[in-house]
Every structure is written in C-alpha cells, then in structure tokens.
Amino acid sequence: MQGAAPAPHAAPTAPLEDDVVRVLRDDGSLDPEHDPKLDPDAVVAIYGAMVRVRLLDERLVGLQRQGRIGFHIGSQGEEAAILGSAAALREHDWIFPCYREFGAALWRGMPLAAYVNHMFGNEQDPMKGRQMPDHYGAKGARFTSISSPVGTQITHAAGFAWAAKIDRATARREGRALVGAEDVATLVYFGEGATSSGEFHNGMNFAGVFKVPLVLLCRNNGWAQGHAAEKQSASVSFAAKGVAYGIPGVRCDGNDLFAVLAVTREARARAARGDGPTLIEALTARMPPAREGAKDASEAWKKRDPILRVRRHLELRGVWSEAKQREYEAATLAEIDAAIELAERVAPPALGTMFDDVFATPTGSLDEQRAELLGSPRATGLAKP
C-alpha cells in the first residue's frame, strides 16, 4: 500500500495495475506481505457473513421477480469488498453506506428481521415504510441512512469525520467530555459511478483540506447500472483521483477478503492516528447472472468468486468442509426464510404515521392533513382500497 500521495508530477499518467494489493492466492494460501493475520475463527465468522449475504441476496432477487418486494439491489460478487472493509473497523467507528452494503449493516449488528421488515416496508420496518427497499439505516450499528441521489453521502462522511476531529480538539481545550466517541474513524462506501458526481469532488476536497479521519472506499465493479467504468472517467484508475486532493490512493483486489481487510485496516489506522483520509479502490465485479451462465464464464467466475476463494483458504487451513458448508447453508436459509415469512405477514404502517417525523413535532398543516386522511373514506372503511 502506498504510504503517501505520489508527487504531483510523477504518477497521474502511469498505469497503476502493479500497485494492486493482493493477498489471497488461487490455491487458497496467503501472501505474507499483506496478510492481516486473522485467526481461523475470525475468518470463519466473516466467511459465514459472506455466505449469509449471498443466500439472502438470492432469496431477495427471487422475491423481487415474484413481485413480493418492490426492489432489490444486490451485492453478489462484492461480498469481500463489503465484509472485508466492515470487518476492518472498530465497533465505535461509523459507516456511511450507498446501497449495496446491507452485509456491512448486518455484520455490525443490524438484526436480520429489521432488514427483512424494511424490504417489505411493513409496520416493523425501522424506516416505517417510507423508503423503497434497500434504503435502510441502523443507528445501533453506527450505519447511517441511505438516500437515492448518488454521492451525497461522501460529503456527509467528510463532515462527520471532520466533526470528530473538531470535537476532540475543542473538548480538550474547553475541558469538556467528547460529544462522540474517542478515536472514531468514518468509512464511506460508493461505487465508481459516484466519482463522476459533484459530491465526490466536494467530499474529497473537504476531507483533504481538513485532513479528516476518513476512509473512502470505492467499489469499482466496472459498471454503474448499465454504464461501463471507462465511460465514467478517463483517469488511469479511480484511486489515482486522490492525487489531486492530496489524499493517498490505494488499489486492492476487491474480491480478495484479506486484501480488502488489510488495506482498510491500514487506512483506518492512518485516520485514527490523525494522518488524514485514504481513498481505496476495491477492484471487484458483479457476479454474472445465472441465466447468462455459459460454461466458460461460470468457470472463470469460480476463480474470481470472493466466497469460493475464502472457502478454498479455509479448507486449506482445515477448518471448513463440505459437510460444514451444507449444515451452515441449511441453518442460514431456515433463518432467512423464517424472517421473510414473518415479515410478509406484518401489516403496513398505520395511516397516521405518514405525518410523523417530518418535523420533531408535527406543525399545524400536518395535524390538519392527518385528520383529513384519517377521516377519508378509505381510512374509515367506507371505500374499498
């Protein structure tokens, strides 16, 4: 990993492919240079979370195709980039997500039931049914709220990390307790498409100028919806964009759990030390849909699949087996299916709740309109929905 931004005159046009950090080899062994040295139980726990996210994704894609949920934006193929980075944080750190990172929220303690209830937008959805699926938040997991505009969370994350720095300095000077936690770092997720947004520029610029404790994690899966990465930017890489902001950029194999974890851990440590932000480009790929599964493509994918790669490593270490895999998958699917079955039966949010949380206390027009809705024929049962 690069320790500092390259000199402005040196790097920008040079290809950076050689700089990609890789740890997990094809045979399942680890390159000692960047090995994060996790104990086997820790790897099994993260691996389990990756499999759980994949199974959940598969179920949700099915539910969407059946029209039982309105939307799902999956993370198949990007599990290492998401879980590896989440696992590199400490409990009191904060995550500003875009919308493929429910795996990180679950890893940090968002209950599965809360996530599934959100996907149905029911009465027990923590978002109270106000947002389309996959626009969750989980305060208990220090995981902020998702919106649809692309890139806006990058600036929020810069401001949040900046506030932690201000809090530390002013609390010390004024002899008061911290508003937040000691030694907090912030991580923000975005796709490579978001680097085209003005908010990427704003967030990077403010983060660089004020040297805030922030980790910027760009998941480069090569596609922003239907738009290829090379049509997003003429830059030699997305990590190279850090140069102009005085922010060191580093690339890693985003389908390599150990590389993502090692690089994020180092960036987190830099942030916590007060050395400022780091831009990470995790090179990953969306898993090809099964229906396009020509045999060659699926064979090639098996070599890249971040889950199969960790599994090979665990089997090499002798801590995983086909039997364990079957047992774990069966138990996890049962847990997921039970959550779905429960969530589907929960009622939609009560009508009157539509007017809550616009303001802390409803203003006059909201009270009037709530009364109007509750007195309307559909609410009083006088008209069929």
Contacts to another protein by CB under 8 A: 96, 125-128, 130-131, 135, 137-139, 144-145, 147-149, 152, 154-164, 166-167, 169-171, 173-174, 176, 179-180, 198-199, 202-203, 205-206, 209, 356-361, 363-365
Q: Least distance (Å) from another protein to the CB of residue 365?
A: 7
Pick from 313, 249, 248, 307: which is nearest to 36 by CA? 313
* C-beta of 44 vs 119, nearer to another protein: 119
* C-beta of 321 vs 369, nearer to another protein: 369
- Residue 123 has, within 13 A of its CA and on its CB side, a CA count of 9
Q: Could you tell me where the beta strands, DSSP code E, fall in 237-376? A: 249-253, 278-283
* C-beta of 147 vs 235, nearer to another protein: 147
Q: Least distance (Å) from another protein to the CB of residue 179?
A: 4
- Residue 240 has, within 13 A of its CA and on its CB side, a CA count of 17
* C-beta of 123 vs 275, nearer to another protein: 123
Pick from 56, 71, 51, 94: which is nearest to 217 by CA? 94
* C-beta of 1 vs 138, nearer to another protein: 138
Q: 3-state DSSP call for residue 278?
A: strand
Q: 3-state DSSP call for residue 249?
A: strand
- Does residue 53 contact residue 82 with C-beta atoms inside 8 Å? yes
In the chain the first and final C-alpha atoms are separated, in Å, by 59
Q: Least distance (Å) from another protein to the CB of residue 14?
A: 28
Token digits for 331?
A: 């138990």
Q: Is 359 left (phi over 0), alpha (psi -120 to 50) or beta?
A: beta
DSSP for 227-277, please give it.
EEGGGT--SS-SGGGGGGGT--EEEEETT-HHHHHHHHHHHHHHHHHT---
Amino acid identity for residue 279 in this structure: L
Q: Least distance (Å) from another protein to the CB of residue 374?
A: 19
Spatial separation of the C-alpha atoms in residues 163 and 21, rounded to whole Å: 31
DSSP H or E run through 200? helix 198-209
Q: Least distance (Å) from another protein to the CB of residue 241?
A: 16
Token digits for 187?
A: 């991580």
User: Other C-beta atoms within 10 Å of 131: how many?
Assistant: 17
Token digits for 131?
A: 């947002």
Q: Which residues contact 295 (CB under 8 A, 6 or more apart)?
A: none
* C-beta of 61 vs 366, nearer to another protein: 366
Q: Least distance (Å) from another protein to the CB of residue 265?
A: 23
Q: 3-state DSSP call for residue 317?
A: coil
Q: How many residues are there in the chain?
A: 385
* C-beta of 137 vs 306, nearer to another protein: 137
* C-beta of 142 vs 311, nearer to another protein: 142
* C-beta of 128 vs 324, nearer to another protein: 128
Spatial separation of the C-alpha atoms in residues 189 and 198, rounded to whole Å: 16
Q: Least distance (Å) from another protein to the CB of residue 13?
A: 26
Q: Least distance (Å) from another protein to the CB of residue 18?
A: 33
Q: Least distance (Å) from another protein to the CB of residue 149?
A: 5
* C-beta of 100 vs 313, nearer to another protein: 100
Q: Least distance (Å) from another protein to the CB of residue 109?
A: 14
